[in-house]
Amino acid sequence: MVTALVRASFLINAVYAESAREHGLTPQQGQLLCVLMAQPYGMTELGSVLGLAKSSLTGLVDRTERNGLVRREPDPRDSRAVRVALTARGARQARVFYDETCRQIDALPVGFSAADRATLAGLLGRIVRDNEVPAVFQDTDG
CB atoms under 10 Å from CB of 40, counted, come to 17
Nearest one of 41, 4, 23, 3 to 93, comparing CA atoms:
23
pTM (two decimals): 0.86
- Are 95 and 37 a contacting pair, CB within 8 Å? yes
Q: Which value, in Å, is the radius of gyration of the alpha carbons in the chain?
A: 16
Q: Where are the domains of the chain?
A: 2-107
Say if residue 19's pLDDT is above 70: yes
| Per-residue confidence band for 4, with pLDDT thresholds at 50, 70 and 90 | very high
Is residue 78 predicted with pLDDT exceeding 60? yes
Residues 25-37: tens digit of each pLDDT: 999 999 999 999 9
Residue 134 has a pLDDT of 74
Q: Which CATH architecture has domain 2-107?
A: Orthogonal Bundle (1.10)
Contact 34, 98 (CB under 8 A): yes
